[in-house]
Amino acid sequence: MNKQTPATPEAMTIQTSSERDPATLASTIDVLQRELEVAQTKRGGHYKKLIFEIERNAKLVNEVSQLKTALDQTLLGVPEFQQLNDELAEARKQIASLRAELDVAQQKRAGHYAKLQYEIERNRKLEKQARIFENEFNRVSNSLTWDLGSALVGTKSIRQVFTLPLRLWQANQRYKQKMLKRRMMGSEAKRIDTPTIAAPAPASVPAPAQPTTIDIPLGEDLSILGWPAAPVHSTVTAMTVFDEFSRECFAPYLNLVEPRPDNWKGLLARDQPELLLIESAWRGNRSSWQYRVGSYAHPPGRELQAMVNGFKERGIPTVFWNKEDPVHFNNFIEAARQFDFVFTTAEEAMPQYAARSSSNVNVLPFACEPGLHNPIGSSERNGKLCFAGSYYANRFADRRDDQIMLLDAAMKHKLDIFDRNHAAGAKSDFAFPERFQGCIRGSLPYDEMSRAYRRYSVFLNVNSVIDSRTMFSRRVYELLACGTPVVSTRSLGIDETFGRDLVWTVDDAKEADEAMRALLESPDEWRRRSLNGIRAVFSEHTFAHRTQQILDTVGIKKRVIEDVRVLVFAVVDNANEARRVADMFASQAMSVSAKRLVLFARKGSVKSLDMPDVEVVSPGNHLGEAVSRASAAFNATHVGVFSPRAFYGKWYLQDLLHAFVYSQADIVGKPRDGTDRYAFDVERDHQAWLLRVKPAQSPVLEMLGPDGAVLDGQGSLRSFSADSANYLPDVAKMREAVLRNKIAAIQI
């Protein structure tokens, strides 16, 4: 007999009706009853478990509530917490009060502005009415009626009654003469103003420029009353809004028109700038633009947008430079997107600008300003390390850790710290850790910082942004321009811009200590980095270069960087000397518009030399006059000498040209004592100089000595002696091996 398998509900659905007998149905009912009992048992268990969890959670909630009440009571009993609670309540009251004051201030501002507009309109109407009254007065006072009435009013005695007819006749005659004169003047004016047909001017003669007259509305005229005109020292006039640092850096290259928010229209009409240049200013133009450039919840005004639109309406290019990217991109994007051109210090921000604006976007990194940042007077260093800046205990964690690592390594040497927040009485979040307090020497304002750059042997630098290809501290440019080596924490931008052999970038305390020790103890390594730093920055990283980049980008065809044309001359006695001088000239690495070497061959010793930019001529009877003629023919901006008995290294001319940029001297040369001097009025080597050619200095060239020395007996030239690298005097008698070693040592 086969064993019967209990049926399930699923199985039952496929059984045929013939199999549903009473026995089977009874068995099925039993199975279902058992399954129902099991389900009810499970349900009861789940229900009990659910009730247990609900009760347990209720108890936990009650316990938490009791603990919170106890904690609040405990905190209220502790004076410090009670004080904090009171301070919080007071702070909330102050915030509410300040908000109310802000609303009142904004309402007052709106009222003042409306009143100002009303007064301006009222003044316009009064001025118009005054002109009407003046014209009416002039018309009446020049009429015959006025003259006759004056004669009648002036009759105050019996005698004047008898003379009245005569005076009336005289008044009538005067009136006729005035009318006759007026008609004659009108006829003459009409004759002069009548255009005549003239023969066309020749194509070679340009039409005379017509004077431009711009009417300045009354309100705008009043806003610039007494406002000084922009200083004129450049070929380009720009209206600008800068913070103080940037203002000092751009001022030498642009005629700055620096408006307030309320007078830009009048200055635009009066000074006619060719460019609007605004930076991401926090204060701007002596704080007059504070809160008006960045994005704030309650801006005091929308003058920036109005100014940008005013320039665009006149077809004048508008430029915004965000020097705060990438950290403060969101603070300034709303301002930047209004401009035709946007320049950013951070290359990686360019896609964000492209996504949120239609502006033409470019990269404009920081730079140095040669008038402020240069090696003048830097020959005496103090043998110390220096850090200048801020410390953030609770911000920029990576920067803080890098800073502590760098300063800990520096503590092994002589370290001075200038704390930017020291004078203001730094709060705990900005106070340097206790172990560094003994190194703090106060704070330094920006105008004194450049002197510190030139006084210390090595400066330390930390970076808030480490992964930008173009953005890093402007301090790095400034220090290198001063000839000061820099030890810095890692920065992709520094490595990309200067390479890892110029700024010494470190990752940990061991590398930092090695770098500091090498720069403090190895004069050769220190000097190599110092010279290369000056050369790198002045070659392409000054604010003259940045200004020229802006002008080129926006289409202003003017130059703020001088087109340099260098003429070098040498007096040679034979073909070997001529070839040697020509080879040294050809090896010069310099960026100039044009260069030429003029070889003065005595007694026809050399006829020609098949080399580019080299000319062989006879000196004649007077070397100075020959050099002066050659300079004028070449239109040289600088003239210098090479001696066949000296050696001139690869960077000799380029370094002297850079010295002109930061010293503004008349003549620059190498110190006679063979040291690095970076000073004015130091005795120069007679065979190592470069002269800036000016009309007043033509006699100087004509008074050259027979060996090319400058004979400045009157001391009329402002002389500057730079470094002693890339030059060796009197090499003709040196043995070849000695000469090679010396050249290797000085060619830096």
Could you read off the pLDDT of 100-141 as tens digits, one per residue?
666 556 555 555 555 565 566 666 666 666 667 666 676 766
Residue pLDDT, tens place only, 448-474: 899 999 999 999 999 989 999 999 999
> Which tokens in the block code for residue 512?
């930092």
The residues that bridge with 156 in the sheet, in sequence order, are none
320 alpha carbon, distance to own chain's centre: 10
Point out the least confidently predicted range of 220-224, 405-409, 669-673, 674-678.
Answer: 220-224
pLDDT at 516 over 60: yes
pLDDT at 19 over 70: no
Residue pLDDT, tens place only, 700-721: 676 677 767 776 655 678 999 9
Higher pLDDT, residue 737 or 72: 737
pLDDT at 302 over 70: yes
In contact, 491 and 428? CB cutoff 8 Å: no
Average pLDDT over residues 607-628: 86
CA distance 502 to 98: 51
* pLDDT confidence band for 58 (50 / 70 / 90): confident
Residue pLDDT, tens place only, 190-216: 333 333 333 333 333 333 333 344 555
Q: In what order do the strands lie in the sheet with 679-680?
A: 614-617, 594-601, 565-572, 638-641, 684-692, 667-671, 719-721, 679-680
Average pLDDT over residues 364-390: 96
* Angle at which helices 652-663 and 523-540 cross, to 10°: 70
pLDDT for 712: 63
The amino acid occupying position 488 is S
pLDDT for 451: 93
pLDDT for 187: 43
pLDDT for 6: 47
CA distance 517 to 611: 47
Find the radius of gyration of the CA atoms of the chain. Answer: 43
CA distance 154 to 692: 77
pLDDT for 662: 97
In contact, 701 and 631? CB cutoff 8 Å: yes
All residues at 6 or more sequence positions from 624 whose CB lies less than 8 Å from its CB, including other chains: 701, 702, 703, 704
pLDDT for 204: 37
pLDDT at 8 over 60: no
pLDDT at 2 over 50: no
pLDDT for 604: 76
> Which tokens in the block code for residue 521?
């103890």
CA distance 362 to 340: 11
Q: Which of 679, 686, 670 lies closest to 725, judged by CA?
A: 670
User: What percent of the chain has a predicted confidence (pLDDT) above 70?
Assistant: 76
H or E element in which residue 246 lies: helix 244-250
Cβ neighbours around 479 below 10 Å, total: 31
3-state secondary structure 596-660: EEEEEEHHHCCCCCCCCCEEEECCCCCHHHHHHHHHHHHCCCEEEECCCCCEECCCHHHHHHHHH
Point out the least confidently predicted range of 53-57, 249-253, 645-649.
Answer: 53-57
CA distance 207 to 363: 41
Average pLDDT over residues 66-93: 68
Average pLDDT over residues 646-650: 96
CA distance 674 to 641: 18
Q: Which of 283, 516, 292, 496 lies closest to 405, judged by CA?
A: 516
Query: Sign (positive/negative) of CA torsion 358, 359, 363, 365?
Result: negative
88 alpha carbon, distance to own chain's centre: 41
pLDDT for 440: 93
* pLDDT confidence band for 17 (50 / 70 / 90): very low
In contact, 503 and 476? CB cutoff 8 Å: yes
CA distance 71 to 412: 49
Q: What is the mean pLDDT of the chain?
A: 83
Average pLDDT over residues 427-435: 83
626 alpha carbon, distance to own chain's centre: 45
Q: Can you give the length of the chain in residues?
A: 748
Residue pLDDT, tens place only, 263-293: 999 999 999 999 999 999 999 999 999 999 9
CA distance 579 to 568: 14
Tell if the pTM clears 0.85, that is, is over it: no
pLDDT at 691 over 70: yes
User: What percent of the chain has a predicted confidence (pLDDT) above 90?
Assistant: 54
Average pLDDT over residues 215-240: 78
In contact, 419 and 432? CB cutoff 8 Å: yes
Higher pLDDT, residue 221 or 267: 267
Residue pLDDT, tens place only, 146-155: 777 777 777 7
> Which tokens in the block code for residue 70?
């106890």
Go through the domains of the chain in sequence order and give each one's CATH number.
226-363 (3.40.50), 385-540 (3.40.50.2000), 565-746 (3.90.550.10)
Cβ neighbours around 572 below 10 Å, total: 24
642 alpha carbon, distance to own chain's centre: 39
pLDDT for 91: 73
Q: Give the distance between the most distant pair of CA atoms in the chain.
A: 172
* pLDDT confidence band for 15 (50 / 70 / 90): very low
In contact, 237 and 273? CB cutoff 8 Å: yes
Cα separation values, 619 from 466, 524, 606, 688, 716, Å: 58, 41, 12, 20, 26
Average pLDDT over residues 596-607: 86
Q: What is the DSSP letter of 542?
A: B
Helices and strands of the chain, counted as H and E runs:
23, 21
CA distance 384 to 376: 19
Question: Nearest 5°: phi and psi at 654?
Answer: -60, -40
CA distance 106 to 519: 57
Cα separation values, 227 from 132, 214, 270, 271, 272, Å: 30, 17, 11, 11, 15
In contact, 343 and 364? CB cutoff 8 Å: yes
CA distance 53 to 167: 125
pLDDT for 427: 62
CA distance 537 to 366: 11
